[in-house]
Amino acid sequence: MFKKILIANRGEIACRVIKTARKMGIKTVAVYSDADKDARHVELADEAVHIGAAPSRESYLQADRIIAACKKTGAEAVHPGYGFLSENEAFAKKVEEEGIAFIGPKHYSIAAMGDKIASKKLANEAKVNTIPGWNDAIESAERAVQIAKDIGYPVMIKASAGGGGKGLRVAYNDKEALEGFTACQNEARNSFGDDRIFIEKFVQEPRHIEIQVLGDSHGNVIYLNERECSIQRRHQKVIEEAPSPFISEATRKAMGEQAVALAKAVKYQSAGTVEFVVGKDQDFYFLEMNTRLQVEHPVTECITGLDLVELMIRVAAGEELPLTQADVKRDGWAIECRINAEDPFRNFLPSTGRLVKFQPPVESLTASQPNAADDYGVRVDTGVYEGGEIPMYYDSMIAKLIVHGRDR
């Protein structure tokens, strides 16, 4: 097992990883920007290394500085958290080449699932349900209209490299398809430097349901039930829960088995999430695979009693999964609410500055102990403290409130 790991992230997820590492007796190294010198994750870690200026492109996205910090401190492994470099194939590969373990999937798995067009083709090959559509890059707006007609309206126009609600349009007719293609292409070019666009059938009254998978280097892959993530704002999740109140046991099993098939197809080792869109008739279709730990992982930890970060660390150290599919339990119901620093009087724009008052509820569950003595309770994952500063340079989410009960 590793003696020391570095967390290449900040905020609540860095604090979350540190808690589990501490439980496992592993020393931790934090990295921080100018804006985060007094941040909570810096205080919690055993060591901290400054990696640059406040903007993330000058600090948390600087792969070479993070690798240098590993060498300086003797960290044997890197946990990337989510966001920043967590799904960066080049970073994962460079870390491995430097003899440092990447606490996440192998670089080739990240590459296989990182491109929406390529991942959909892989999903088809793995016999995973995919939404009817045109999966190759579309060269012009006129061609987009023709394809949309062939598929049948409504259609979803999507950027291959899209995410976070960017590069996404729904079209109900030719005019909207023409305009939507152009808008998506411009948005994708400006946001991702990749203007490839594809089109698929738009599933009406859709639900966003995802399956948590876990694989190791010994060829084992299991699924840890589902998460319901349909409550969104601006195409971003706000409330997540496990299990889903919508799907049947048969649908759950079918989705889980397809998620495992896809993970095995890309030789997946670590925690990952296969996202599906589910129609009102419970037909489900593959959306994408997130090759990292999800923001909403705590609800899965609550109902399964597993510490996903611990399992990620153990898998990265070469250990075999300590459980089989038959051992996975589903106990009670868990709901997570994301807490964002926003100004409701300014159309919910991010709000920065000193956090004057912060009084989270008393925890009866923790990240490193997903189940309390009585199995149910309250958990708060956060990276802030009362009197601390909320910088303007990063995501506005400052905490997550997770509750676990006997039923919904």
Q: What percent of the chain has pLDDT over 70?
A: 97
Residues of the chain with CATH 3.30.1490.20: 132-201
- Which residue spans of the chain are classified as CATH 3.30.470.20? 207-405
* Contact residues for 46 (Cβ-Cβ < 8 A; gap 6+): 4, 27, 28, 29
What class has domain 207-405? Answer: alpha beta
- The pLDDT value given to residue 132: 87
Average pLDDT over residues 220-244: 95
Which tokens is 176 given? 């909207």
Give Cα separations from 56 to 64, 89, 398 (angstroms). 14, 18, 17
Contacts of 368 (CB under 8 A, 6+ apart): 19, 20, 22, 23, 307, 309, 310
First CA to last CA distance, the chain: 38
Architecture of domain 4-103: 3-Layer(aba) Sandwich (3.40)
The predicted model scores a pTM of 0.89
Strands 77-79 and 101-102: parallel
Task: Tell me how far the alpha carbon of residue 224 is from its chain's centroid.
Answer: 15
The residue among 311, 340, 339, 341 whose CA lies nearest residue 323 is 311
pLDDT at res. 372: 45
Q: Is the pLDDT of residue 190 over 60?
A: yes
Q: How confident is the model at residue 221 (pLDDT cuts 50, 70, 90)?
A: very high
Is 92 exposed, middle or buried, given 0-12, 13-18 or 19+ CB atoms closer than 10 A? buried
- Please write the tens of the pLDDT for every residue from 33-65: 999 999 999 999 999 999 999 999 999 999 999
Protein fold of 132-201: Dna Ligase; domain 1 (3.30.1490)
| Cβ proximity of 337 and 400 under 8 Å | yes
Pairing between strand 155-163 and 166-171?
A: antiparallel
Catalytic residues: 288
Over 60: is that where the pLDDT of 406 sits? yes
**For 18-177, where are the E strands, in sequence order?**
27-33, 47-52, 77-79, 101-102, 133-134, 155-163, 166-171
pLDDT for residue 367? 62
